[in-house]
Each structure stands twice: as C-alpha cells, then as structure tokens.
Amino acid sequence: MLKYQQIANEIETYIKEHELQQSDKLPVLETLMTQFEASKSTITKSLDLLEKKGVVYQVRGSGIFVRRHKRKGYISLFSNQGFAKELEGYHLTSEAIELEVRKPTEEVAHNLNIGLDDDIYYVKRVRYINGQTLCLEESFYNKSIVTYLNKEIISDSIFNYISEGLGLKIGFSDLYLRADKLEEEEAKYLGLQKGDPKIYVESIFHLTNGQPFDFSKISYNYEQSHFLIQGTSHFL
C-alpha cells in the first residue's frame, strides 16, 4: 500500500472512531500535512481517494467535510473489493454449487473479450448473509487470468483470493441492474416464491490494465438486498 492510501485509511478510521457526522469539517490541509508528516501532494491524493470513495467532499475555498449518509445494512455498489470486505460486521458465507473449467458461450466470450476456444472457470454459488440467502451467483472467470480456483477458495471470498493470493490488481467495473420476477430454480435456491421480485445484476470486472476477468450474473433476494450508490459530482 502506498503512503497516500495508508493516510486515506487512517483518516477514514478516524472519522469512524470519532463518529464524525455528515458535514463535519476535517482539519485544514496544513494540519493534516503536519499530523501525517506528508507533503501537500500526498495529502491531496489521500483526500481525492476519500472523495472517490464517498467518504468526504471538498468545497473549494471552504474545506473538507465528512460525507456520511450510509444507512446500516446497505451494500455499496461502488466497492471493487467484493462483498466480504464491504459487509464487515455481517456474517457472509458462500455455498459452492458448481465449479468447472469449460468453454464460454458467445455471450460470455463477448463480455470477457476472449475467444470461444479459450477456457473459463464456471462458478455457481449461493451466498448467505447472517444465515439468510443473499443471492444466487453464476460467475465466469477468464482462466488465463484467474489461473486456479478450488471449492475451498470459492466457499470464501474469491476477490480476496484474486487480489491477495494471485496478486492481481482489480480495477473498474460495469454493472447492469434491473428488477424482474424470480424463475422457479432461483426461487428454490433463495427460499422464495416463483414470481417474487429480484434484483438482477450482470457485472464485468476489469483489472487495472483494462482486461475483463470476471463476468457474473447475480439474482438477489429482494428482502435482504439493500444497495447504496454514491454519486460524486462531475463538476468539482
């Protein structure tokens, strides 16, 4: 972790521990520079990172303020760290249903930007939050990037394994979200009725170099899935 990331983490921890509220003002740049023994450009990068993460907002000529509207139990859809990291404080478990190496369909090949002859890992899981079903997940990993998976890994956090086990850098993601009615098989896995609402998300995760490595189709239990989406201003 680079110094500005470390400082950003420390500022975020400080905000949490001191229960700072929305629009509470942070110390000025000069104070933060002294406190963290860091240059102006390092502190600026830390603050830009926290702004991207929706932790603070900066008002030109006025200062840096805490941004905290987060409601308990809402999952941030901005997170690239996987749900396990996002849902600290919750008990998240995964039940592996299927794991195999196969060839991609045209849809999967298109979304992963690979050929029909390339290998993928197919992973099917049910994920639970505090013992309740959270979602049914089908994921397709480009095997030339995510070179190895096993039942033990997919029963835990795959993203944690990808970044820490394989040392890959997870970058940006595209999520396509809509609501629909549950199919019979999905309802069975989620413990709901056929025709009940679902949030259906298709997502593509990329490495920082732009390569897509994970295409997923996820059906969420509507009773358990509350999402927070933070928009940052494009005009700062």
Q: Which two tokens stand for residue 224?
A: 């358990």
In the chain, the amino acid numbered 146 is V
Among 100, 107, 164, 180, binds a second copy (CB under 8 A): 180
- Contact yes or no for 191/123 (Cβ under 8 A): no
**Total of chain residues touching a second copy, rule CB under 8 A:** 56
Provide, rounded to whole angstroms, the least separation between the CB of residue 75 and a second copy: 10
Provide, rounded to whole angstroms, the least separation between the CB of residue 48 and a second copy: 9
Name beta bridge partners: 199. Answer: 179, 220
User: Is residue 236 close enough to count as binding a second copy by CB under 8 A?
Assistant: yes
User: Is residue 79 close enough to count as binding a second copy by CB under 8 A?
Assistant: yes
Provide, rounded to whole angstroms, the least separation between the CB of residue 155 and a second copy: 25
Instruction: Using the minimum distance from each CB to a second copy, give the nearer residue, 21 or 34.
Output: 21
Instruction: Using the minimum distance from each CB to a second copy, give the nearer residue, 33 or 63.
Output: 63
- Compute the distance between CA of residue 37 and CA of residue 55 in angstroms, rounded to an integer: 22
- Contact yes or no for 224/129 (Cβ under 8 A): yes
Q: What is the CA radius of gyration of the chain?
A: 20
Contact track, a second copy, 158-177, x by CB under 8 A: -----------xxxxxxxxx
Among 7, 42, 78, 141, binds a second copy (CB under 8 A): 78
Q: Please tell me whether residue 31 adopts helix, strand or coil conformation.
A: helix
Instruction: Using the minimum distance from each CB to a second copy, give the nearer residue, 5 or 144.
Output: 5
Looking up tokens 């997502």 gives 203
Tell me which residues in 21-40 interact with a second copy (CB under 8 A): 22-23
Tell me which residues in 186-225 interact with a second copy (CB under 8 A): 196-199, 204, 206, 208-210, 220, 222, 225
Among 28, 101, 116, 229, binds a second copy (CB under 8 A): 229
Residue 181 CB: number of other CB atoms within 10 A? 13
- Compute the distance between CA of residue 147 and CA of residue 120 in angstroms, rounded to an integer: 9
- Contact yes or no for 143/69 (Cβ under 8 A): no
User: Is residue 59 close enough to count as binding a second copy by CB under 8 A?
Assistant: yes
Q: Which residues contact 38 (CB under 8 A, 6 or more apart)?
A: 3, 4, 7, 32, 46
Q: Which residues contact 214 (CB under 8 A, 6 or more apart)?
A: 139, 140, 141, 142, 146, 203, 204, 205
Whose CA is closest to 200, among 183, 227, 176? Answer: 176
Contact track, a second copy, 100-139, x by CB under 8 A: -------------x--------------------------
Residues near a second copy (CB under 8 A) are 5, 22-23, 49, 52-54, 57, 59, 62, 65, 67, 69, 71, 74, 77-80, 113, 169-181, 196-199, 204, 206, 208-210, 220, 222, 225-236
